[in-house]
Structure 1
Amino acid sequence: MSRDTERRRPAPRPGYVAAACVFAAGMMGTTLPTPLYGLYRHQIGFSELIVTVVFAVYAVGVITALLVAGDFSDLLGRRPVLLAALGLAALSAVCFLCEAGLPLLYVGRVLSGFSAGLLSGTGTAAVLELASPERRTRAGLAATAANMGGLGLGPLVSGALAQYTPWPLKLPFLVHLALLAAAAVVTVLLPETVRGSGPRPPLRPQGMKVPPEVRGVFAPCALAAFAGFSLLGLFTAVAPAFLGQTLGEHNLAAVGAVVFSVFCASTGGQLLQGRVGTRRALPLGCLVLVAGLVLVGISLLLESLPVLLLGAVTGGAGQGMAFRAGLTAVSSAAPETHRGATISAFFVVAYVGISVPVVGIGALAVALGVRDAGVVFAGCATLLVAGVGTVLWRRPAPDS
């Protein structure tokens, strides 16, 4: 090949690893405020119930975006929707930077929810589609690891910055804005994987759209996601209160590290799923998740931080195993033209699980206190996950 030909060859464009980094950077902002809720409570003055409502407002934003725009990337392309999601994440960060009371906290969380809703389906589909067929398994891991890794990095980074640097309520969001700017540049360079054929259909709210051929796989996988995300909601929304009021841990970096451990363990559980297989990973993940929830309840009764950490790691591993198995099965079974919409529907069920139980904890905390509310939640969630695991054991999803 001549040198002229080599010079004319286009430079290689970013692939699925770059798309996974964009996905992680966007998701990072959704959990960035977690270690900061205690500072906001001191500055503004509100109850633990309001903390969970602020968190639930975010989840409502996620679900709304998934229901309204879950299939937009199938029609418009992955790249435009990714850029829109990054823009919404940047607007959310600006709201927190300008925060002067609860209204901007609510607006910032809603915008963050819209961003996460767009990213959940579109980011996953983009990562999978940018991988070559022989690397599809790695891409599936990269997508779910980017999701969980981004969610885990948020509290880890903001907790460290808030504890050890000036401007604890400003610097985390300035750092995130810089990461979002870099992610936007990478997104512009990503190849577009959606090719239009013929006139584009009008954009309409999709609601919950699951193709008929996917429904048999979708139901058990979505149940497992619901159960696992309820544990993530527990740690993301009220872990600072548990650690501060029940266990006496007020170091914000430590709070962020505890929350990070859940998501880090989730990524480890996803790695294990590849060896176990989808059929076994779903019920086995629920079994491990039950063990984690029991440990969380015991840690609150004993007021033991080491036991809480053990419960976080155990429960996170079970959640990750079941989550990756479910996402892999659903995305593999979905037809290409509806993959983004199907994945979005999967995340709708998951985010119902991450939001509704958490508001219940906030209400119980007002009546019973944080410790007893956590114990009640752990007991109820254990029963729920045990029931889901039993269903999945009797009616296993097919291996993909």
Structure 2
Amino acid sequence: MAPVIELAQRRSTFRLAFVSAVVSLVAAFVASAVPIPLYNTYRAEDRFTNADLSLTVVAYDLPTLAALLLMGRLSNHVGRRLTSVASLGLLLLGCLLLLNVHDIGILLAGRVLMGLGAGLASSNVTAYIVDSAPDRPAWLASVASSQTPMLGLALGAIGSGALVQVGPWPRQFVYLVAAALLLLSALLIVISPETVTPTPGAWRSLRPSVRIPARVRPLLPVAAAVFLATWATGAFYQAFVPVLVQDQLHTHSPLVLGLVFAAYMAPSAVGAPLGGWFTPATAQRIGMAAFLAGLIGIITAIVTGSLALFIAATIVAGASQGIAISSATRGLLHGSTVTDRAPIFSVIYLICYSAAAFPSLISGQLSNVFSLPQIALGYGGLTLVATVFTVLAARNPDTDRPLEG
């Protein structure tokens, strides 16, 4: 009976770790989304421009990339819990800095801190989720690790929009709430069990490195196409939804702004489990085809000014990106070991945040020359190329190849 009791106890403690890691990743991306409903406030009261707001996406994404390159494997050596708490601490500092935003430099500095925290969380907290996830259902680990950020962004945008509109101290209270959530998450991590045995080599692990097991390396080009199209569109929403809501939908409501942003992010978490019904390759094809259809609807709605079509197409795009992203992640995680997971997630999020940062930087500069519908059309062209490539080249993991490489 002793082995059975020990197994039950281990599952119970790992269940706590799984819940704590999921809550922490949600909290990390809730904090990351909190400033977005305030962007129109900053535009109106502090005269921030569209190019300024596009620059905040870059200020967030580039530090995230740096954290992924330098610290993507750190938790293999110092433990998942320590790196998780450190990521939450960086996000907390970002929230505190943004309590008094009246200058674009302060907003950019706060987003830099949040980007560092999100980068550390993206590889290490997600690895903590996969380490501690239950064996059944089989798709749970990939869905929880890939879609928890989307859920956090949606909750952060909606909650922030509501608090900015009806809560006290509209420019400060949302950051205090996010800070409290981050502190609670850190406490949960502290009382949770560790899932890896710390090993020497922490300093050496800080050398920039990109590594993915040979077994799933052939899947990376298609996965990169999926991440590129979906995360670039997400950055488009972050940078341009404030002006879209104000100019195209004729409302200044922070809550409406948050709801529109969440309409893209939240359905992703709902659509992701649907990908578990198919093989990774089939699910990526279905997801990207539906995503392209949704983006065509979004562009049409922006051109015609149709709010109903815009919301409906946004929901379709959000749900279908969930199918595509979670399936791509499931393929890359196939057969992974504990020490593989943090590096794999580093590669995944390096691609994702690059896809968000660089198109946003380009489109932010082009916003001074081209109209919003024209910029949206450019994102549509990017998605068309990614979809065609996915349909033609998607493949399933090769179970006969070795894991190392």
TM-score (normalised: structure 1): 0.92
Looking at structure 2, the residues matched to 296 and 233 of structure 1 have their Cα atoms a distance apart, in angstroms, of 15
- Answering whether residue 339 of structure 2 is matched by residue 340 of structure 1, we say no
Distance 1:257 1:230 in 2: 19
Structure 2 CA distance, aligned partners of 1:304 and 1:277?
Answer: 36
Residues 40, 379 of structure 1: CA spacing in aligned structure 2 closer, same or farther, 3 A cutoff? same
Taking the TM superposition and a 5 Å limit, the aligned residue runs for 1:116-135 are 116-135=118-137
Match of 2:161 in 1: 159
Q: 2:274: which partner in 1? A: 272
Task: Tell me, in whole angstroms, the C-alpha distance in 2 between the residues paired with 1:344 and 1:251.
Answer: 36
Residue 49 (structure 1) aligns with: 51
Match of 1:398 in 2: 397
Aligned-pair CA distance for 1:398 = 2.7
Partner in structure 2 of residue 82 of structure 1: 84
Contact 2:165 2:254 in 1 (8 A): yes
Report the number of matched residues. Answer: 391
User: How far apart, in 1, do the equivalents of 2:214 and 2:141 lie?
Assistant: 26
Query: What is the rounded CA distance, in whole Å, between the counterparts of 2:105 and 2:398 in structure 1?
Result: 46
Tell me the amino acid that sits aligned with residue 48 of structure 2: F
Give distance in 1, aligned partners of 2:373 and 2:200.
58
The superposition leaves residues 236-286 of structure 1 with CA deviations (integer Å, 9 ceiling, x where unpaired) of 221111111122122111110111111111112202111123121111111
Question: Match of 2:107?
Answer: 105
What's 1:235 paired with? 237
Corresponding residue for 1:21?
23
Asked whether the equivalents of residues 65 and 354 of structure 2 are also in contact (C-alpha less than 8 Å), the reply is yes
1:100/1:240 CA distance change after superposition, 3 Å? closer
CA distance in 1, matches of 2:148, 2:379: 27
Hey, which bits of structure 1, 4+ residues long, moved more than 4 A? 9-12, 197-201
After superposition, the C-alpha distances for 1:88-128 in whole angstroms (9 at most, x for unaligned) are: 00000011003231111111001111111111111211111
Shift of 1:201: 6.5
Call closer, same or farther: CA 1:135–1:193 in 2, change over 3 Å: farther
How many angstroms apart in 1 are the aligned matches of 2:357 and 2:159? 23
Report the AA paired with residue 397 of structure 1: N
Q: What is the one-letter code of the residue matched to 1:285? A: G
Q: Return the alpha-carbon distance in structure 1 between the equivalents of residues 86 and 219 of structure 2.
A: 30
Conserved? CA contact 2:131–2:338, under 8 Å: no
Q: 1:41 to 1:362 in 2, by over 3 A?
A: same
Q: 1:304 to 1:85 in 2, by over 3 A?
A: same
Contact 1:229/1:353, CA 8 A, preserved across alignment: yes
Q: Determine helix, strand or coil for the equivalent of 1:367.
A: coil
Quick one: structure 1 residues 243 and 75, their matched pair in 2 at CA, closer, same or farther if it must change by over 3 Å?
same
SS at match of 1:15: helix
Q: Is the 8 A contact 1:74 1:338 kept in 2?
A: no
The letter for the 1-side match of 2:353 is: Y
- Read off the aligned partner of 2:62 and give its amino acid letter: V
Q: Shift in Å at residue 359 of structure 1?
A: 2.4
How do 1:64-213 and structure 2 match up within 5 A? Answer: 64-196=66-198, 202-213=204-215
Partner Cα distance (1:366, 1:344) in 2 = 34
Distance 2:200 2:75 in 1: 16
Give the aligned residue type for 1:384. Answer: V
Determine helix, strand or coil for the equivalent of 2:193: coil
C-alpha deviation, 1:330, in angstroms: 1.1
Task: Please list, as runs of the form range in 1=range in 2, the aligned pairs for 1:200-349 lying within 5 A after superposition.
Answer: 202-349=204-351
Q: Partner amino acid for 1:23?
A: L
Give the whole-Å Cα distance in 1 for the aligned partners of 2:258 and 2:369.
27
Given residue 366 of structure 1, which amino acid in structure 2 is its aligned partner?
Answer: N
Q: 1:21 to 1:118 in 2, by over 3 A?
A: same
The code of the aligned residue for 2:384 comes to: L
Query: In structure 2, what is the equivalent of residue 388 of structure 1?
Result: 389
The aligned amino acid for 1:164 is V
SS at match of 1:389: helix
With over 3 angstroms needed to count, the CA separation of the structure-2 counterparts of 1:333 and 1:200, relative to structure 1, is same
Q: Which runs of 5+ in 1 are unaligned?
A: none
Tell me how far apart the structure 1 counterparts of residues 201 and 158 of structure 2 sit (CA, whole Å): 46
Deviation at 1:58, TM superposition (A): 0.4
Deviates more, 1:363-372 or 1:91-100: 363-372
**In structure 1, what is the equivalent of residue 40 of structure 2?**
38
Point out where structure 2 has 5 or more consecutive residues left out of the alignment.
400-405
